[in-house]
Amino acid sequence: MKIAFLTLGCKLNYAETSTYERGFRNAGWEVVSWKDNADVYLVNTCSVTATSDSKSRNLIRKVHRVNPKAEILVTGCSAELRRPEIEAIEGVTRVYGATEKSRIVSDCTGITGSTDTAGGVFAAYSSGERTRSFLKVQDGCDNFCKYCTVPYARGRSRNVPICECVRMAREIAALGVKEIVLTGVNTGDFGRTTGESFPDLLKALNEVEGIERYRISSIEPNLITEEIIDWIASGTKFQPHFHIPLQTGSDTLLRKMGRRYDTEFFLSRINYIRSRMEGPGKPKVFFGIDVMAGLPGETEELFNETLDFIRKLAPSFIHVFPYSRRPGTPAAAMPGQVGEEEKSRRVEILEELCRQLQESFLQSNRGIREQVLFESKDKDGMMSGYTGNYIRITRPYDKNLVGKLVETTI
């Protein structure tokens, strides 16, 4: 049997798809490109915005046009939130929602245990790259922010037990991978279902032999505690690289959207990390933040508050989203909806600010000695890799450096 995979959305989805691939390969199936004549197609969908939903549906229809005789299985967030719409698309054989996804391999192959549920979570990691793997440690969210469908799409907060996370990390190390990125919907909320703690997870993973670097993909500002920061700064495998969602730099909108911090707290947390991890001769900490443009009630004055706060914060990168009105969320019914043209204007302003901040961050790191983990891709005789603080370094290709940590002057 031949199977092809198509994935939209976040790194969590890619980790899950990679785990499906291993399960089907272990069951004797052949994994092929979606353009080949597969017997089965598995489409892992995204629903973070209305555009994501549309892309998911269009991708399914495209697959059916390419191979009308094939079975099409659909999973992911759009499958959970838009199930009747997905089931109605011609060619769809079966839809797997959030609580069913771990059964996909066993349902198709009859082999149980190919993909497992651990602690009520479909345990997963990616294995497509030689240098980096995304390890899913947590799923779901209990925050129910006013604009967000994630708790409905992925369920309540739950986690993979620490022992299972360590087992998967050892498997990743056995593949020769040197770096792991911890992923989850609300990663720092780890421990809800097992009574364990996020700091204990970090400490256990830090001991896994063969893994030389860890990153935390995204963590809420109120969940990255001083205890965690102090421990990372003490000299661990965890890198000076943080992705912390801000969403808006307006306290008025933070309260309105149900976020669990204000700008003063957010800034204090960033400053504390900098105080513990930066110093003479040390690399600057990379901070990526998420920001939404055009939240309901975001007046020009409140948007300018966000711009002013971001300039004060001086992150390294801004991941900019236009607010997407999601049916069934409280924000969708709020007054003060911002027009699409105005959202686009604000996105452009934020993206230009991002470019300025990125350049400033790079300049602040020039002359610093840092270790670079080089990747295997040979592009026009060049290879690249990332420093611990996520600066991409390019050099002439040398196969002897693939997967190696090489000290370099930025």
For residues 382 and 394, the answer to whether their CB atoms sit within 8 Å is: yes
For residues 126 and 143, the answer to whether their CB atoms sit within 8 Å is: no
Residues 6+ apart with CB under 8 A from 84: none
Count CB-CB contacts under 10 A for residue 218: 22
In degrees rounded to 5, what are phi and psi of residue 220?
-65, 145
Confidence of residue 50 (pLDDT cuts 50, 70, 90): confident
Q: Please tell me whether residue 53 adopts helix, strand or coil conformation.
A: helix
Q: Average pLDDT over the chain, rounded to whole?
A: 94
Confidence of residue 304 (pLDDT cuts 50, 70, 90): very high
Asked whether residue 114 carries a pLDDT value surpassing 60, the answer given is no
For residues 243 and 285, the answer to whether their CB atoms sit within 8 Å is: no
Give the separation between CA 103 and CA 35, rounded to whole angstroms. 25
The residue to which tokens 């198709």 are assigned = 108
Please compute, for residue 244, the number of CA atoms within 13 A of its CA located in the half-sphere on the CB side. 29
Asked whether residue 250 carries a pLDDT value surpassing 80, the answer given is yes
Instruction: Specify the pairing of strand 132-136 against strand 179-183.
Output: parallel
Give the separation between CA 71 and CA 53, rounded to whole angstroms. 21
Closest CA to 45 of 86, 105, 84, 4: 86
Closest CA to 219 of 261, 169, 171: 261
What pLDDT, in 10s, does the model give residues 333-385? 999 999 999 999 999 999 999 999 999 999 999 999 999 999 988 888 999 99
Q: What percent of the chain has pLDDT over 90?
A: 90
Asked whether residue 115 carries a pLDDT value surpassing 80, the answer given is no
**Mean pLDDT in residue range 13-24:** 95
**Mean pLDDT in residue range 110-135:** 81
The residue to which tokens 């697959």 are assigned = 63
Give the separation between CA 341 and CA 4, rounded to whole angstroms. 38
**Crossing angle between the packed helical segments 198-206 and 226-233, to the nearest 10 degrees:** 10
State which amino acid sits at residue 189: D
Give the separation between CA 393 and CA 77, rounded to whole angstroms. 35
pTM of the model: 0.94
Asked whether residue 130 carries a pLDDT value surpassing 90, the answer given is no
**C-alpha R_g of the chain:** 22
Confidence of residue 113 (pLDDT cuts 50, 70, 90): low
Asked whether residue 120 carries a pLDDT value surpassing 80, the answer given is no
Give the separation between CA 3 and CA 63, rounded to whole angstroms. 12
Question: Exposed (0-12), middle (13-18) or buried (19+): which is 226, by Cβ within 10 Å?
Answer: exposed
Asked whether residue 177 carries a pLDDT value surpassing 70, the answer given is yes
pLDDT given for residue 23 in this prediction: 94
